[in-house]
Amino acid sequence: MKQMPNLLPCQRTLFDIPEDIAYFNCAYMSPLLRSTAAAGEQGIGNKSQPWRVRPADFFSLPDQARGLFAKLIGAQANDIAIVGSASYGVETALKNIRLQTGDKVLICADEFPSNLYPLRRAAQLAGADIVTVARPQDGDWTRAILAAIDAGIRLAVLSHCHWTDGGLIDLSAVRLALDAHKGLLLVDATQSLGALPLDVGQVRPDFLVAATYKWLLGPYSLGFLYVAPRWHAGQPLEENWANREAAHDFARLVDYREGYALGARRYDMGERANFVALPMAMAALDQITAWQVARIADTLRGLTDSIAAQVAPWGLQAAPAHLRAGHFLGLRWPGALPPSLPEQLAAAQVHVSIRGPAIRITPHLYNHEGDVARMLEVLEAALRKA
């Protein structure tokens, strides 16, 4: 692939990935940067010797982390809560949106289960209806979603790109359509943040959540929740000592207070000051910021476009480039995919996923042309046997 000015060179040396591994599965779980792993090890060392952990660290560490995440999406640190998962953020949003009888909630077909299950329960309790946008035959999710938005849609729960194959959704266009009917927007950006630029000033979500263990290159069991200022006075999912006002004063914690910490901090999960996970997430965010998300996106777009062009003669089809996120490649086969295809590829140290009817190929900056050549060779051989 010809090097272009905005593209980043291969960053494999920053990861602990052996040369015989071709890992195209970042949408499943990202490898850790060496710097991220080192930050986690230092955090373990601090926990091993807790006298090194100061009371102020319970607040300064989370605030540093929320500041880094806020910068990534064009928000303020005051807008960011620290959560344990995307589903935690979805539950927090639903608790405050409070669906009512007759409300309609819009989602895409084949939505991720952790988004669908809490939404289904909330709708059942409230007497609300879920409107499911069918997978469009032409792959244009944005057009299909816009056609489904009407005055009855109270809430849209969407991703920036579909988790199964990277189908792209123009969230800014969706926001404008919702505005016309005073609808709300909840975004799960787990499969896009870090690899696809997103500015909350343009998208204007009411809530946006992202787990860190995929494209944010961070640890498992950690995420960030953006809360629009209009929702800063809502109810947290849980009550804990750290999300109350004046919690810095450890000597007076039993002087119980009704008020909450400023801004979105009231929505922080309990034990948010994770002295291992937070430094890891921060190290990863530092590196993503240094690379620049736009450059990451352009680089990965070039890689997936190249792969799509090379597999097209075999009958594997991807969505048109303008209808899919550049860091995703969902390849569909005219016939049934061999159920054992991932295992066949993994046996050759080539790692991809099958999601629905698609082979999901999701590279990152650690992939190089040798990885691509090996994957294509093994994939072609496996499909010939199908």
pLDDT tens digits along 292-330:
999 999 999 999 999 999 999 999 999 999 999 999 999
CA distance 41 to 36: 9
pLDDT bucket at 10, cuts 50 / 70 / 90: very high
CA distance 168 to 187: 13
pLDDT beyond 90 at 340: no
| Whether 298 and 275 share a structural domain | no
Give first-to-last CA distance, the chain, whole Å.
Answer: 30
| Whether 269 and 143 share a structural domain | yes
| Whether 258 and 286 share a structural domain | yes
CB 57 within 8 A of CB 275: yes
pLDDT bucket at 386, cuts 50 / 70 / 90: low
Which pair of tokens denotes residue 197? Answer: 């630029």
CA distance 135 to 145: 10
Q: Report pLDDT for 342.
A: 82
pLDDT bucket at 64, cuts 50 / 70 / 90: very high
CA distance 38 to 284: 11
Q: Angle, nearest 10°, between helix axes 293-311 and 277-291?
A: 80
pLDDT beyond 90 at 118: yes
CA distance 339 to 37: 34
> 351-376 pLDDT, tens per residue?
999 888 889 999 999 999 999 999 99
Q: How many CB atoms lie within 10 A of CB 143?
A: 14
| Whether 377 and 250 share a structural domain | no
Domain at 65, CATH number? 3.40.640.10
% of the chain at pLDDT higher than 70: 98
Mean pLDDT of 147-151: 96
Residue 4 domain-assigned (yes or no): no
Q: How many CB atoms lie within 10 A of CB 225?
A: 26
Residue 110 domain-assigned (yes or no): yes
The chain-wide mean pLDDT, for the chain, equals: 95
| Whether 61 and 191 share a structural domain | yes
Residue 7 domain-assigned (yes or no): no
> 124-142 pLDDT, tens per residue?
999 999 999 999 999 999 9
* Residue that terminates a domain, selected from 290, 310, 339: 290
Q: Report pLDDT for 269.
A: 98
Q: Report pLDDT for 303.
A: 97
Closest residue by Cα to residue 214 from 340, 20, 58, 28: 28
Mean pLDDT of 142-169: 97
* Residue that terminates a domain, selected from 242, 273, 290: 290
| Whether 215 and 191 share a structural domain | yes
Residue 238 domain-assigned (yes or no): yes
Q: Report pLDDT for 384.
A: 80
Task: Report how many domains make up the chain.
Answer: 2
**Angle (nearest 5°) at CA 68 between 270 and 29:** 70
Residue 3 domain-assigned (yes or no): no
| Whether 274 and 223 share a structural domain | yes
* Residue that terminates a domain, selected from 290, 315, 339: 290
Residues 6+ apart with CB under 8 A from 204: 175, 185, 228
Residue 219 domain-assigned (yes or no): yes
pLDDT bucket at 1, cuts 50 / 70 / 90: very low
pLDDT bucket at 383, cuts 50 / 70 / 90: confident
Mean pLDDT of 72-87: 98
**DSSP state for residue 224 in the 8-state scheme:** E
Q: Report pLDDT for 5.
A: 60
Q: Report pLDDT for 115.
A: 96
CB 129 within 8 A of CB 71: no
> 20-39 pLDDT, tens per residue?
999 999 999 999 999 999 99
Q: Report pLDDT for 381.
A: 87
Q: Report pLDDT for 331.
A: 93
Closest residue by Cα to residue 178 from 160, 154, 162, 197: 154
**DSSP state for residue 257 in the 8-state scheme:** -
Domain at 350, CATH number? 3.90.1150.10
Pairing of strands 184-188, 329-332: unpaired
202 HSE (CA, 13 A, CB side): 9
Amino acid at 381: A
| Whether 227 and 350 share a structural domain | no
Amino acid at 231: W
Q: How many CB atoms lie within 10 A of CB 325?
A: 29
State the DSSP string of 328-373.
-EEEE-SSPPPTTHHHHHHHTTEE-EEETTEEEEB--TT--HHHHH
Question: Residue 25 sits in which domain range?
Answer: 12-32+292-385
| Whether 197 and 300 share a structural domain | no
> 197-248 pLDDT, tens per residue?
999 999 999 999 999 999 999 999 999 999 999 999 999 999 999 999 999 9
Residue 328 domain-assigned (yes or no): yes
| Whether 286 and 315 share a structural domain | no
Residue 366 domain-assigned (yes or no): yes
Amino acid at 158: L
| Whether 198 and 321 share a structural domain | no
Residues 6+ apart with CB under 8 A from 137: none
Closest residue by Cα to residue 171 from 132, 207, 211, 223: 207
| Whether 252 and 329 share a structural domain | no
